């Protein structure tokens, strides 16, 4: 599954409202995103199984430089254990891959993206002023941004972890990337993206900004990031990008054929549910709410075309298993989903 960070509706907005240079950058990126989507196939993690798996607890990273071309993986510029290269994109990608590996290993006991020690590969300086980052089923790919709207795409740890989580989802649930299952796919990537950042910074629920892509927008854009998990719809409001269209409740659910049925838009509903659950449980979100969502993702009962209700019911079930039938924690998870208009059953 090829998943890109910047949704097509943002690129469309730039094409309609940007300068000639901005329009060209967005148009070229959007054409590439469309080509990726049309080439979508089964997850390709299995094609890498023949590669030597890394030792449990130890990441095996390699960062490549595409040199503004689009051939992957590009020239190897930093391998595992080598010192910093001095190139911010290379070194940020290297550190972010490591931080994501450490989160999944130390918090959830998962040995890399596939759970079996797959090496982590990243390519930076992809394309010319490429305004996106994506997981292509085998590796991470980062554009440099245009410098006017978007900074380099290695700048935000949660963005890197978000894209790598798509690989985890491919491996576990293979959630269909369309409509509500696609929105769940995007939301889960946001959930584990923000948890990776919180874990790296040792932030509590209250200390986190709950912003996906903080630092990715340049100072010329009126926005905090791409998405707000705490307040969907409030991440940006800018003459060029428009207003963040994410809903926070099912009554605002967006019915559209664009964006694979609104996968980047309606993910705000599930994001808000996770935020509400994490806030109610308190402390570190990776210690209570995070494992419930992870257990749900890994549950064999989770169908690849699951909708919000399906996921919410399994969430409550796993909260009951983890914290006890009728516990305050399980009730908090059920209430979080109810508060966004999703029925999950009672704990």
Positions marked catalytic: 163, 264
**C-alpha span between 44 and 174 (Å, rounded):** 11
**C-alpha span between 169 and 162 (Å, rounded):** 11
Choose among 267, 303, 311, 262: nearest CA to 172: 303
**C-alpha span between 163 and 169 (Å, rounded):** 10
CA atoms within 13 A on the CB side of 193: 31
**C-alpha span between 139 and 101 (Å, rounded):** 14
Structure tokens at 181: 């299952």
**Placement of tokens 């905090």 in the chain:** 224
CB 297 within 8 A of CB 188: yes
The packing angle between helices 267-281 and 179-201, to 10°, is 40
CB 113 within 8 A of CB 171: yes
CB 131 within 8 A of CB 145: yes
**C-alpha span between 172 and 152 (Å, rounded):** 30
Phi-psi region of 326 (alpha: psi -120 to 50; beta: other; left: phi over 0): left
> Nearest 5 degrees, angle CA 52-CA 58-CA 62?
60
Strands 75-79 and 120-124 come out as unpaired
**C-alpha span between 167 and 140 (Å, rounded):** 10
**C-alpha span between 204 and 190 (Å, rounded):** 17
CB 46 within 8 A of CB 64: no
């Amino acid at each position: 599954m090829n998943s890109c960070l910047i949704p097509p509706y943002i690129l469309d907005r730039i094409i309609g409202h940007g300068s000639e240079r901005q329009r060209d950058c967005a148009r070229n990126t959007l054409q590439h995103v469309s080509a990726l989507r049309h080439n979508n196939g089964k997850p390709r993690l299995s094609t890498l199984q023949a590669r030597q798996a890394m030792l449990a607890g130890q990441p095996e990273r390699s960062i490549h430089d595409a040199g503004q071309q689009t051939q992957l993986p590009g020239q190897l510029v930093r391998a595992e254990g080598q010192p910093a290269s001095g190139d911010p994109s290379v070194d940020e990608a290297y550190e972010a891959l490591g931080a994501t590996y450490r989160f999944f290993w130390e918090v959830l006991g998962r040995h890399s993206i596939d759970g079996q020690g797959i090496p982590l590969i990243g390519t930076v300086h992809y394309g010319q002023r490429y305004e996106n980052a994506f997981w292509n089923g085998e590796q991470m790919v980062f554009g440099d941004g245009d410098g006017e709207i978007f900074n380099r795409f290695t700048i935000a740890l949660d963005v890197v972890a978000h894209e790598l989580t798509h690989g985890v989802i491919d491996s576990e649930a293979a959630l269909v990337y369309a409509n509500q299952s696609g929105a769940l796919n995007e939301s889960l990537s946001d959930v584990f993206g923000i948890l990776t950042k919180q874990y790296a910074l040792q932030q509590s629920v209250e200390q986190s900004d709950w912003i996906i892509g903080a630092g990715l927008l340049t100072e010329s854009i009126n926005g905090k990031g791409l998405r707000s998990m705490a307040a969907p719809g409030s991440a940006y409001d800018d003459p060029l990008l428009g207003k963040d269209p994410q809903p926070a409740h099912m009554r605002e659910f967006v019915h559209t054929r664009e964006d694979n049925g609104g996968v980047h838009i309606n993910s705000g509903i599930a994001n808000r549910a996770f935020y509400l659950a994490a806030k109610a449980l308190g402390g570190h979100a990776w210690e209570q709410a995070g494992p419930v969502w992870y257990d749900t993702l890994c549950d064999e009962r989770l169908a690849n075309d699951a909708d919000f209700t399906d996921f919410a019911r399994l969430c409550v079930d796993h909260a009951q298993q983890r914290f006890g039938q009728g516990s305050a924690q399980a009730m908090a998870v059920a209430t979080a989903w109810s508060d966004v208009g999703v029925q999950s059953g009672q704990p």
